[in-house]
Amino acid sequence: MPTEPKTIFIAGEWSGAQSRASLEVRSPIDGEIFAAISRGGKAEIDRAVAAARAALSGPWTTMAGFERGRIMSKLSALILDNTEELAQLEARDTGKPISQARTDIKATARYFEFYAGAADKVLGDVLPFLDGYQVTVQREARGVCGLIIPWNYPASMFGRTIGPALATGNTVVLKPAEDASMSCARLTALAHQAGLPPGVINLVTGLGEEAGAALSQHTDVDFLSFTGSPEVGTLIQTEAAKNHVPCVLELGGKSPQIVFEDADFEAAAKTIVSVITQNAGQTCSAGSRVLIQRSIYDRFVAVLREKMTEVRVGAPAADLQCGPVINRAQQVKVKGFIERATSDGINVIAQGTLDKSAVATGYFITPTLFGPVPVKHELAQDEVFGPVLAAIPFEDEAEAIAIANGTAYGLVAGLWTENGARQMRVAKKLRVGQVFINNYGAGGGIELPFGGVKRSGHGREKGLEALKEYTVAKTVVLKHG
C-alpha cells in the first residue's frame, strides 16, 4: 500500500489531509503518475488560518524589519544552494525545459533577496497639517494573507507572493495549484529551515474548488492574492467582497506586440517567437498577438516564419525552446483553437517541430503562427494559453492602438520602433499595466511593478509597489499644542 502523502504544512508540522484523501500528480512530459499530494479542504484551511492568526502574536510581526530580512536572505541562499534539485522538480512537475526551470528557481531566490532588502524600508509619511498638530501615516501589515497561485510558474510565484507578504510582517496561507505544487512544498521546507517561526508560512495542497474556495471564503483572512483565469478571479473577488477583504487579482492577457516599419526585424522577431513559445505559451503576459504595419507585413512575416520554424518542442531534459502544456485538458483546449482557426480558413504561416523526445503520451503542442488573423476572431481576442501566435496587419499608428486596445484584456504590450516620439505617444495610449519598448519581459523583472487593467485584473505585484498591497495605511494625528 503506498505511503500517504504529507504535503500540508501547518504551524511548522507536515501532515496529510484529515480525510486521508490524496491526488495523483501526472507529469505533462509523458502523462505518467509520478507523485501524490494531500487533498486538503476546509478543515485544513481552517487549521492553517488559525495557525497564521496565532503567529501574528508571535515574534514575526514585532521583530525589526532587518531581522525579518536576515531570515529571508537565508532562505534566498538556501534556494540557490538547492537550485538543481528544485529545478529538476519544477521541470518534472510542469514540463518546462530544464534551463528555464533553473532560471525560474534563481528568480525565486531573487524575490526573497529583493524583499529581504526592502523589509526595513517600508516607509510612512509625515503630512503638513494645522499648527499644533503632528500627522504621520504608518504602513502596517494586513495580517493573514491567503495566496492562491497558478501552475505555470509555481516556484517563482511562491517568491512573488510570499516575498512581499513576509517583508511587511504578514503571515501566509498558500494554496498552490493541484497540477504543480511539488516545488512549493520543497520551498516551504526550506523556509522553515531558514528560521521562519511556525505558522508564518502555511501550505495547503488540494483542489481549487475545495481548498482554494475555502480560503477565499474564510472570514478570518485579511487579504487575498489570486493569479489565474478571469472566471475564477470573479469567484474569488465575489467571496472576498462578502467578507470585505481586499484582493490583488492577476487574470491573464491577450498582449500585443506592435511592430512598426522602422523596427529592428531580427531583434523583434527573435523576441516575439521566444516569448510565445516560452513555457509553451502558458504565460499570462505572453505576446500572443503580433501587430505588423502593413507596409512591412510580408517582409516581417518572412522573418517570423524563419524563427518559428526553428523552434523545437520536447522533454525538459532535451532543453529545447518549448516543452509540453500542463495537462490533457489544456492540450485539448489549445488544439481546439488551432483546429477552429484552420477550419475558418486562417492561413498557417509556420510551425515548430516536435523533437524525438516528445513522447506520444505527453501533452505536447506544435507552436503555430497564423496570419493574417481578423481582429474579431477568437484567435485575436481570447487567451489561448499555448504556443499560438496571431499575426494582424495594421495601417498606421491610430489603427495599431485601436487593435491593441481592442480586447477585454490589458496586461502587457510590446512596442518595436526606433522613433522616440512614437514610442512615447503609443506607450501613453496603450491600456495595459506594462509597456516594453524594443524588448519584452526584461528578464523576469522582479523590481518592476506588474499587473493589469480591465479583464486582466487589478492591483500590483513585484517591485516596491507590492509592499503597498500587503500593507494598510494608518493615519495618526497628534495634538501637541
pLDDT in tens, 250-269: 999 999 999 999 999 999 99
Return the axis-axis angle of helices 182-194 and 65-81, rounded to nearest 10°.
Answer: 130
C-alpha cell at 298: 510580408
Burial label, 130 (beta-carbon count in 10 A; 0-12, 13-18, 19+): exposed
> Looking at the domain assignment, is residue 101 inside a domain?
yes
What's the CA gap between 187 and 155, in Å, rounded? 8
The reply to whether 250 belongs to the active site is yes
Question: How far, CA to CA in Å, does 426 sit from each of 37, 303, 307, 454, 470?
Answer: 47, 24, 26, 18, 32
Helix (H, G, I), strand (E, B) or coil at 317: helix
Q: Which of 226, 251, 276 is the last residue of a domain?
A: 251
Number of Cβ within a 10 Å radius of residue 201: 28
For residues 235 and 314, state if they share a domain.
no
Residues 304 and 259 sit within 8 Å (Cβ to Cβ): no
> Looking at the domain assignment, is residue 206 inside a domain?
yes
Range of the domain at 354: 256-454
Helices (runs of H) and strands (runs of E) counted in the chain:
15, 22
> Looking at the domain assignment, is residue 477 inside a domain?
no
DSSP string, 433-454: SEEEESSSSGGG-TTS-B--SG
Q: Per DSSP, what are the bridge partners of residue 435?
A: 413
Burial label, 473 (beta-carbon count in 10 A; 0-12, 13-18, 19+): exposed
- Any alpha helices (H) in 82-195, and if so which ranges? 83-94, 98-118, 154-167, 182-194
What's the CA gap between 316 and 88, in Å, rounded? 9
For residues 178 and 321, state if they share a domain.
no
Residue 198: the pLDDT is 98
**Which pTM was predicted?**
0.97
Residue 442: the pLDDT is 72
CATH assignment of the domain containing 220: 3.40.605.10
Residue 2: the pLDDT is 56
Q: Which of 251, 274, 294 is the last residue of a domain?
A: 251
Identify each DSSP E strand in 176-274 by its residue range. Answer: 201-203, 223-227, 247-250, 256-259
What's the CA gap between 142 and 472, in Å, rounded? 6
For residues 217 and 340, state if they share a domain.
no
Residues 369 and 308 sit within 8 Å (Cβ to Cβ): yes
Q: Strands of 144-148's sheet, edge to edge?
A: 13-15, 8-10, 201-203, 171-175, 144-148, 223-227, 247-250, 457-458
Mean pLDDT throughout 94-114? 98
> Looking at the domain assignment, is residue 470 inside a domain?
no
Residue 454: the pLDDT is 97
Residue 1: the pLDDT is 38
- Examine the pLDDT at 151 and tell me if it is beyond 80: yes
Residues 349 and 305 sit within 8 Å (Cβ to Cβ): yes
For residues 316 and 261, state if they share a domain.
yes
C-alpha cell at 73: 536572505
What's the CA gap between 406 and 193, in Å, rounded? 48
% of residues, the chain, pLDDT over 90? 98
Q: Which of 251, 277, 310 is the last residue of a domain?
A: 251
> Looking at the domain assignment, is residue 475 inside a domain?
no
Report the number of distinct structural domains present in the chain: 2
Q: Find, among 295, 313, 69, 82, the residue nearest to 186 by Cα.
A: 82
What's the CA gap between 32 and 315, in Å, rounded? 13
CATH assignment of the domain containing 341: 3.40.309.10
Half-sphere exposure of 143 (CA within 13 A, CB side): 14
pLDDT band for 60, please (50, 70, 90 cuts): very high
| Helix (H) or strand (E) segment spanning residue 470 | none
> Looking at the domain assignment, is residue 386 inside a domain?
yes
Mean pLDDT value across the chain: 97
- Examine the pLDDT at 271 and tell me if it is beyond 90: yes
Residues 280 and 339 sit within 8 Å (Cβ to Cβ): no
Helix (H, G, I), strand (E, B) or coil at 188: helix
What's the CA gap between 11 and 108, in Å, rounded? 23
For residues 193 and 272, state if they share a domain.
no
What backbone phi and psi angles, to 5 degrees, belong to 175?
-115, 100
For residues 245 and 264, state if they share a domain.
no
For residues 363 and 446, state if they share a domain.
yes
What burial letters (b/e) apply to 96-112, b meaning 16+ CB within 10 Å?
bbbebbbbbbbbbbbbb
> Looking at the domain assignment, is residue 478 inside a domain?
no
Catalytic site residue from 250, 383, 461, 469 = 250
Residues 366 and 351 sit within 8 Å (Cβ to Cβ): yes
For residues 183 and 271, state if they share a domain.
no
What backbone phi and psi angles, to 5 degrees, belong to 185?
-65, -40
Mean pLDDT throughout 325-344? 98
Number of Cβ within a 10 Å radius of residue 297: 18
For residues 237 and 352, state if they share a domain.
no
For residues 30 and 157, state if they share a domain.
yes
For residues 102 and 17, state if they share a domain.
yes
Burial label, 64 (beta-carbon count in 10 A; 0-12, 13-18, 19+): exposed
Give me the sign of the Cα torsion angle 314, 320, 326, 329.
negative
Mean pLDDT throughout 33-46? 97
C-alpha cell at 95: 514540463
pLDDT band for 443, please (50, 70, 90 cuts): low
- Examine the pLDDT at 433 and tell me if it is beyond 50: yes
> Looking at the domain assignment, is residue 3 inside a domain?
no
CA 62 to chain centre: 30
For residues 241 and 273, state if they share a domain.
no
pLDDT in tens, 381-408: 999 999 999 999 999 999 999 999 999 9
